[in-house]
Amino acid sequence: MERIADILGQKYPQYNTVSSDCFVSDALYQMCCENVDHLVVFDNDKFIGIITDQDIASKVLYETRPLNKIPVKDFVNTTLPVVTSSDNIGQCMQLMERYHAKHVAVFDNDNLVFKGVLAIQDLIHRGYSKPNVNFEEAESIKPGYPWTY
């Protein structure tokens, strides 16, 4: 089975990053400009976690401060599952399913250096791009809707 390093090798080397001191409004603007749904959060060149548009949407309901006054460190998700670059895709998918996670942090085996973030979309794209992936077709699909009024 393929390794996590294989998928990271095919992704762009840059990360969509933001500082933990940046404001949430600026992070949202950056996500919009870069057409991404998450940003990797660093604090003094140390990986802290990620902030996603879903994190912001769910936490902003409980805030009284405007988004341009809330630092990213208040909304950052620090509880990501972690994989190493030598783990295989199956292990990664099981970990994502167990923790209901859409993203995992990838670290190097030897010196625990942050390598990147792997999203569920990356795994799906990898599955579709492989020529030997077989999808079973449903046998009893009938045209029309399955319900009646």
Cα-Cα-Cα-Cα torsion 138, 144, 145, 148, nearest 10 degrees, comes to -130
Q: Are 77 and 55 in contact (CB under 8 A)?
A: yes
Whole-number Å distance between alpha carbons of 109 and 122:
21
Query: How much is the pTM?
Result: 0.76
Whose structure tokens read 């089975």? 1
CB 73 within 8 A of CB 66: no
Range of the domain at 90: 4-129
Domain with residue 12: its CATH number is: 3.10.580.10
Nearest to 95 by CA among 58, 53, 123: 123
Rg value, the chain, Cα: 19
Whether 49 is covered by a domain: the verdict is: yes
For the chain, what percent of residues have pLDDT higher than 90? 30
Q: Which pLDDT score is estimated for 143?
A: 54
User: Mind listing the pLDDT tens digit for each residue in 89-140?
Assistant: 888 889 999 999 999 988 887 667 888 888 888 888 877 776 554 444 444 4
Q: Is residue 138 part of a domain?
A: no
> Is 143 a member of any domain?
no
Three-state DSSP class for 68?
Answer: helix
Q: Report the Cα 87 to chain-centroid distance in Å.
A: 17
How large is the average pLDDT for residues 25-46? Answer: 91
Helix, strand, coil percent content, the chain, rounded in steps of 5: 35, 25, 40
Chain centroid to Cα 95, Å, comes to: 13
pLDDT at 60: 86
Is 51 part of a structural domain of the chain?
A: yes
Whether residue 37 is contained in a domain is answered as: yes
**Count of structural domains, the chain:** 1
Q: What is the pLDDT of residues 94-108, one digit of tens each?
A: 999 999 999 998 888
Beta strands 114-119 and 103-107 are antiparallel
Q: Is residue 144 part of a domain?
A: no
